[in-house]
Amino acid sequence: MVHEELNPVDLVIIQPTPFCNINCSYCYLSDRGNKKRITFDTVDAIANFLCNVPVANPPLKVVWHAGEPLVIPVSFYERAFRCFTLIPETPKVQHCFQTNATTINDEWCDLFKRWSVHIGVSVDGPRQIHDIHRVDRSGRGTFDRVMRGISKLRQHEVPFSVISVLTKESLSAPDEIWGFYRSNGITEVAFNVDEQEGANSVSTLEPSEHLTQFRKFMSRIADLQETDRTIHVRELDNMRRRLIAPPGAEVAKSDNRPGAILNIDTDGNLTTFSPELLGEIHPTYGRFAWANVHVDSWEQLGQNVQFQHANADIKAGVDLCRQKCPYFTVCGGGCPSNKLAEHSTFVAAETKWCRFHIQAVADVVLERLERQISRPPTLFHLDN
């Protein structure tokens, strides 16, 4: 039975451990020094829980994230992945890791290939950019360790994508960052911005100071992409698709649709909506843990009173965006975690994330679409 408030699931994010072996300055995780690990009992419980969950687009994407997943041994994932194959009713899954790549070696690459694991690597660009914020617990840059991991992936022909976090230092170096991608064979890129959320209470980017620089950065990246279509940029490519969509089309944003994303911590506690909310405690909404895979069902998640309160306010916030924002059709209503971090409520509209990730990117892409439309047609002369 499908609960009326819950959407089919697009994505499951599992936290194998809160611990991370590095200490990025912009990380939103408050508990990243905790070395607790998920147990096989909890992995089994997750596989059982998913038996009764509707899946939007099989295979179901399962991302091991939120902490550094590769600090847990290869042998753990060999057994954990098998857990998802032992119950016939469990939906077929596609395993993914979002990793800082510092521990990747031959053994990891063998696992990735045997299980067809999708790999996302977090790297912010060349050394002088990356090592400012992506440091270890002694404050040392991690660039060399990340590049060793990337070298292993390339040696074993393991495909991977990249997420780069843009900080104020990144904005003056689009050519250097693009050159880094090209020289390292990186063809799938996503940009996150340094955001105020979770444990990261202060961002290096402020709209009043950095928004113009950000637009120039994305504009230059768009120019570079026009000369090298082999590199796909999530923000630009997604925005192009949204802007040329048929009239009346709206973006269905996963992290503000109940059930579309399931976030599960090491104890099996579960939330939906933005992954950054998992485990956080708020004076209005309480603790973001609305079910547990050991004892609760999909139906019980939808019946949780705290979930219903958050869901109602998130819907109200999306309605505010729909009423107020001219960019709504290419956005879908903003990110609940950013609204909560900046406004202390989900019943809110514009955030810094909106201004950077949506409005600025839309403006950049629109400029190029308008330029293409305004170009005079090419004239062809036929010889008699």
Q: Where are the domains of the chain?
A: 11-243
Q: What are phi and psi of 287, to 5 degrees?
A: -90, 135
Say how many C-beta atoms besides its own lie within 10 A of residue 131's C-beta. 17
Residue 310, classed as helix, strand or coil, is helix
Tell how far CA 177 is from the center of its chain.
20
Burial class (CB in 10 A: 0-12, 13-18, 19+), 286: middle
pLDDT at position 32 is 85
Element (H, E) at 166: strand 160-166
Tell me the CATH number of domain 11-243, given options 3.40.50.450, 3.20.20.70, 1.10.10.10, 3.40.50.300. Answer: 3.20.20.70
> Two tokens at 49?
């829980």
- Rounded to whole angstroms, the Cα distance separating 286 from 48 reads 27
* The predicted structure's pLDDT at residue 259: 97
Tokens representing residue 191 in the block: 């940009």
Which residue bears the tokens 């780069």? 164
Residue 101 CA to its chain's centroid (Å): 16
pLDDT confidence of residue 2: 46
Q: At 57, phi and psi to the nearest 5?
A: -140, 90
Distance, in Å, from the CA atom of 31 to the CA atom of 198, rounded to the nearest integer, reads: 10
What pLDDT shows up at residue 331?
93
Q: According to the model, what pLDDT value does residue 43 have?
A: 98
Token pair of 353, please? 């994330």
Q: Could you tell me the two tokens for 35?
A: 């070395």
Residue 303 contacts by C-beta under 8 Å, 6 or more apart in sequence?
3
135 backbone dihedrals φ, ψ, rounded to 5° = -120, 165
SS3 193: strand
**Between helices 74-83 and 106-114, what is the axis angle to 10°?**
10
What is residue 164's predicted lDDT score, i.e. its pLDDT?
98
Identity of residue 2: V
Separation of alpha carbons 253 and 314, rounded Å? 12
How much is the CA Rg of the chain, to the nearest whole Å? 21
Q: Which residue bears the tokens 């406004």?
A: 343
Task: Locate all alpha helices (DSSP H) within the chain, ordered by sequence.
Answer: 40-49, 74-83, 106-114, 127-133, 143-155, 174-183, 207-227, 234-243, 298-303, 305-324, 336-343, 352-353, 361-374
Please give the chain's pLDDT, 384 residues, in tens: 445 689 999 999 999 999 999 999 998 887 888 999 999 999 999 999 999 999 999 999 999 998 999 999 999 999 999 999 999 999 999 999 999 999 999 999 999 999 999 999 999 999 999 999 999 999 999 999 999 999 999 999 999 999 999 999 999 999 999 999 999 999 999 999 998 776 767 888 888 899 999 999 999 999 999 998 999 999 999 999 999 998 878 788 999 999 999 999 999 999 999 999 998 999 999 999 999 999 999 999 999 999 999 999 999 999 999 999 999 999 999 999 999 999 999 999 999 999 999 999 999 999 999 888 876 665 545 454
Does this model's pTM top 0.85? My answer is yes
